[in-house]
Amino acid sequence: MASIHDVAKEAGVSVATVSKVINDYPDVSEKTRKKVNSAIELLKYQPNVVARGLVKRRSWTVGVLLTVPFTNPFVAELLEGIKTALENSGYDLVRLSTRFDDPTYSFIKHCRSRNVDGVVVFGEGRENTSIQELVAAEIPTMFIDTDLFGKRAGYITTDNVNGVAMAVKHLYELGHRKIAYISGTLGPAVANLRLDGYKEGLRLCGIPYATIYLEVCDYSFDGGAKAARRLLALREQPTGIICASDMSAFGAIHEIEKHGFSVPEDISVVGFDNTYYAEVFKPSLTTVNQNIYTIGIRAIEYLIAMIENPSYTPPVVTEPSNLIVRQTTAPVNEMYSEAPAQP
Amino acid sequence: MASIHDVAKEAGVSVATVSKVINDYPDVSEKTRKKVNSAIELLKYQPNVVARGLVKRRSWTVGVLLTVPFTNPFVAELLEGIKTALENSGYDLVRLSTRFDDPTYSFIKHCRSRNVDGVVVFGEGRENTSIQELVAAEIPTMFIDTDLFGKRAGYITTDNVNGVAMAVKHLYELGHRKIAYISGTLGPAVANLRLDGYKEGLRLCGIPYATIYLEVCDYSFDGGAKAARRLLALREQPTGIICASDMSAFGAIHEIEKHGFSVPEDISVVGFDNTYYAEVFKPSLTTVNQNIYTIGIRAIEYLIAMIENPSYTPPVVTEPSNLIVRQTTAPVNEMYSEAPAQP
DNA sequence: CTGAAAGCGCTTACAG
DNA sequence: CTGAAAGCGCTTACAG
């Protein structure tokens, strides 16, 4: 691979001059600029960004901290947005191979040793000390769904509260009054916010909040199924169930059908995420849409802005959510409603 | 961030000595080794791998060339394997932000400018000139599903032929004789090999190959649906349909049901991939399992072996596939079979 | 407008 | 066993 010295020799100039034409400095005569450019052409020279990074203390690299599996549809779509935003930015994505099980491992040291210019974090809780160090070290960071921010750290998430509240309102308008909620594990911001949305939705509809209608699971298919089983065992079975993820909604539907009920005829179900399969699944799922792809794009845009402008104030952004009505919600079955059917 | 100079000063030794203890050279006295180590501890020193890479001409970085979306379940699972294999290897993953629409973009220059030690390629055809350059340049490379290899390039894929052949045999044993195949776009090795498997399966079962039973689509849900529509319009409707992907199988099933037939009572359907949703979908999908995760792991293991041992011969590997029988295949419905039902 | 020199943070013969 | 020096491929004041 040709180096800047080879180009300098070929063009008959100094390496400083070659550097200047590579970096588009104005103080180079047209004549030598041409000489240098044809030498570059001839030798198929490509500047070594690693060497450049060493002196500029930059790497044109963005790290991702991602312990959630790539097979998680949220992660996949997020990465798709990130990738797209990065495509023509001059930055490349590096996935830092984390080893949180190793007590000597430090994420921030890893970032520094790789010299990443910024990082996007998804799926790590605020209790992770590596994350806190990251914020304290003022390395440009964008958090997705983790409610953490600082001088050089922004935060971006979906409008979780309104998302679930809309789901409640939707069921209410279909006549449902016994509306249950299958939450994700509480603690992380998104889980808490969605639960807030459930309560807020009930409040707006004038429905009292009843803890028997709250179940908690781990967002999974099996978790949703188990939670649904408990709800079905209630004397006052809910007629509508809102789930904190599409996956747990699929599990709930599966369980409901296993018990001989049908969706949406007997029980309506709403998911959260609007992953690709929500549309494919039969019956197709009514769900709260998150603009995950957009969140990925924005995260990178903000991150690059922070990197390239030290005084840029990192944003705290809530991306709107919206309800996608499909086939798993329907008017409440009068057989199950409190009030007797109108004649 | 402390540099090697700071450590040297703190420990009262030369930077050469510090370097030696960092790299576990034996010719350092126990006493100075201790002094250096406590200086490292004190300053929280972490060697800069970028600087090290500049002199060693290595980066401890593996590039991926991946133009297929992350939301593709195959990609997601492959990355999961790659990630796992990388986790404690000391290598990090970098996704090179490709710009194949820019005529001046060269993937290989990008690799060199980033100084990646090796690359794994998925989803690019052999006709891509960037890919050919990669092989010619003898940069350590593992191709997934692209039948390309060279002095420093290996190739790993699923046993596509046997996979589809097993599917044919499975249907045959259920009594099916009119077995159609919905191929993916022909040209790329996997598509061709799976078609070979279809023909081979028919041959082994003594069923003549009939072109009317061959459809081609783009592996998608809609593609599968359209192809199925054409098969359903045939005078001699197939009783079994094998699809080159799970997604197109889902589409085919959807279309079959739309036409008032049911799966598997009227028509059996087999997919290919065994993605996560094959199990979740209702009816759950009989499909050919690819060990994609394992392929990801192996790809990295072989790649690192190549990187670290210049004389390592890059492997050409076929990972076994197996048939997972679920709910979309059943004995042929006698109503549709050629031979009259036995009394 | 051009180039010599120092330096980014490391490693590696080589001399002592 | 230890360290001075050169060098990896760049950039950046600075002098001319």
Tens digits of pLDDT across chain B (343 residues)? 899 999 999 999 999 999 999 999 998 999 999 999 999 999 999 999 999 999 999 999 999 998 889 988 889 999 999 999 999 899 999 999 888 778 888 899 999 999 999 999 998 878 888 888 899 999 999 999 999 989 999 999 999 999 999 999 999 999 999 999 999 999 999 999 999 999 999 999 999 999 999 999 999 889 999 999 999 999 999 999 999 999 999 999 999 999 999 999 999 999 999 988 898 777 899 999 999 999 999 999 999 999 999 999 999 999 999 999 999 999 998 777 655 444 4
Contact criterion met (CB below 8 Å) for B215 and B231: yes
3 state SS of B57 = coil
Neighbour tally for B144: CB within 10 Å: 26
pLDDT on residue B338: 55
- Both tokens of B299, joined, read 């790809």
Residue position matching structure tokens 């036995």: B342
Same fold, A61-158+292-320 and A160-290+324-336: yes
Query: Per-domain residue ranges for chain A?
Result: 4-32+43-47, 61-158+292-320, 160-290+324-336
The DSSP code for A212 is G
The answer to whether A91 faces chain B, any CB pair under 8 Å, is yes
Res. A342: pLDDT tops 50: no
State the angle between helix axes of A160-173 and A189-205 in degrees (0 to 180), rounded to the nearest 10.
30
Element (H, E) at B202: helix B189-205
Span A160-290+324-336 CATH architecture? 3-Layer(aba) Sandwich (3.40)
pLDDT on residue A343: 41
Q: Which CATH number is correct for B160-289, 3.30.70.3040, 3.40.50.720, 3.40.50.300, 3.40.50.2300?
A: 3.40.50.2300
Task: Pick A46's closest partner by Cβ from B51, B83, B109.
Answer: B109
User: Chain B contacts of A277, Cβ < 8 Å?
Assistant: 277, 280
Give nearest nucleotide to A52 (CA–C1').
Answer: D10
Contact criterion met (CB below 8 Å) for B29 and B36: no
Residue B179 sits at φ, ψ, to 5 deg, of: -110, 120
The answer to whether A76 faces chain B, any CB pair under 8 Å, is yes
| The CATH fold of domain B4-47 | 434 Repressor (Amino-terminal Domain) (1.10.260)
Chain A, chain B: beta-carbon pairs less than 8 Å apart: 127
- Whether the bond between B315 and the residue before it is cis, its omega within 30 degrees of 0, is no
pLDDT on residue B192: 96
Interface test mutation site (partner A, options B62, B66, B71, max chain A beta carbons within 10 A): B71
Contact criterion met (CB below 8 Å) for B162 and B322: no
* CATH number of the A61-158+292-320 domain: 3.40.50.2300
pLDDT on residue A338: 56
Strand order in the sheet with B240-243: B214-217, B179-184, B240-243, B268-273, B286-289, B322-324
Contact flag, residue B19 CB and nucleic strand C, below 7 A: yes
Closest CA to A76 of A342, A290, A326: A290
Query: What does pTM read for this prediction?
Result: 0.90
- Sign, CA dihedral A148-A150-A152-A156, equals positive
Indicate yes or no: CB of A70 within 8 angstroms of CB of B80: yes
In this structure, whether the domain defined by B61-157+292-320 belongs to CATH 3.10.20.440 is answered with: no
The answer to whether B73 faces chain A, any CB pair under 8 Å, is yes
pLDDT on residue B67: 84
Contact criterion met (CB below 8 Å) for B321 and B289: yes
State the angle between helix axes of B107-114 and B129-136 in degrees (0 to 180), rounded to the nearest 10.
50
- Whether the bond between B103 and the residue before it is cis, its omega within 30 degrees of 0, is no
Interior/surface letters B37-54, b for 16+ CB within 10 angstroms, e for the rest: bebbeebebbbbbbbbbb
Res. A61: pLDDT tops 80: yes
Closest CA to A275 of A266, A284, A264: A284
